[in-house]
Amino acid sequence: MVAFHMIFRDRAKYLTLVGGLAFCTLLISQQFGVFCGVMLLTASTLRNIGGEIWVMDRDGQQVNQVVPMRSIEVQRVRSVPGVGWAVPLIWTVTSARLSNGSMETFQLVGLDSASLAGRPGRMIEGRVEDLRMPNAVILDQVAVERFAKSGITAGLGSTLEINDREVRVVGFCHTDRSFLGYPYAFTAYETALACIPPERKTLSYILAKASPGNPPADVAAAIGRLPGLRALSSPDFAWATMVWFFKNTGVPLSFAIVVAMGLFIGLAVTGLTFLMFVQDNLRHLAALKAMGAGFGDLSVMLAFQALFVGVVGYGIGLGLTALFGAAVLPKGVPAFFLPWQAPLVVAVLVLVVCLSAAALGIARLARSETAMVFK
């Protein structure tokens, strides 16, 4: 009760401590959430298309970096023992002219017309099977948003022109937003071939599935032994893509700097404020010493006070982070994903800040004299 009375008596410092820790928690956890969301965006193509095993050129490192292959590679993959089926896939970035003459960049996905493997899983309007119709495309919700910004009402039967070829919209789907930010346009493999510039190598990826009884990892390893090819399961490919962005872009460093700044600000504000709090209460602490309280007891009390304001500030900061996530998740901008491990990491960092502040206060207490109560 004495500890609570001391800390609540000075409301200004109490609110400063709680506010500093809440801001520290909010800044760190919010940046964690945005960073995890951005990393998930890098592999959104894998989630939107699906596929158990992805086969690519040996030089392919991440899903957004396509190294074209020869079409004959599909037959080579199909000949590998343990492969249930394998189909070609085109994934490329291309421009399209809308009905009002404006240009829009799309991620064009060409699916095998027989199996439609890699089809969009969440249809909003229309049927996936209509992709088998000549020059048919299915657009995602991002394309609808872009159409609206251009003053175009998107609907079934709308047309657009890709590389001087007119295609017709037969459906709309919902996809995870891409790291590139471009909308998706799904079409049949043959239509995609007709829409992209002619090249000697046009195959982007091969989607494969292991036959029953064969682990996908073992089948992927067998495919990877073919000269010039690399095969990864979808989770492994997603992880490889995120690792590539982690190593080759400045995104992780930027977020790490912001997190470090939040930690430094929290430590500075909390440490100095708690030190001032101890300084203002030295007479009371000296009185407790005179009444028989040991240094260890007073140290525990100060640590408890620091941890108490830490729990309150952490709770407020995490609540504000949840409100931020609830506000941005429906829009998808900025990307936000807070895994359950993130609050635990933030809790450990806040604990470090609180214990550091308590250590400063305990160090000041150690230099005080019991006789101060008589001054």
* CA atoms 150, 156, 162, 166: torsion sign: negative
Contact residues for 351 (Cβ-Cβ < 8 A; gap 6+): 307, 310
The pLDDT score that the predictor gives to residue 374 is 45
* Pairing verdict, β 184-188 and 103-111: parallel
The pLDDT score that the predictor gives to residue 295 is 59
Q: Which residue has the tokens 């970035």?
A: 93
The pLDDT score that the predictor gives to residue 6 is 65
The pLDDT score that the predictor gives to residue 8 is 61
The pLDDT score that the predictor gives to residue 359 is 78
The pLDDT score that the predictor gives to residue 371 is 46
State which residues of the chain have pLDDT below 70.
Answer: 1-10, 275, 277-298, 365-375
What is the per-residue DSSP string for 85-109?
EEEEEEEEEEEEE-TTS-EEEEEEE
Are the C-beta atoms of 67 and 182 separated by less than 8 Å?
no
Helix-helix angle 341-366:11-42, to 10 degrees: 150
Contact residues for 358 (Cβ-Cβ < 8 A; gap 6+): 274, 302, 303, 305, 306, 307
| pTM across the whole model | 0.80
d(CA 258, CA 256): 5
The pLDDT score that the predictor gives to residue 372 is 45
Q: What is the largest CA-CA distance in the chain?
A: 95
Residue boundaries of the structural domains of the chain: 2-42+250-374, 59-227
d(CA 199, CA 94): 14
Residue 106: strand pairing partners = 94
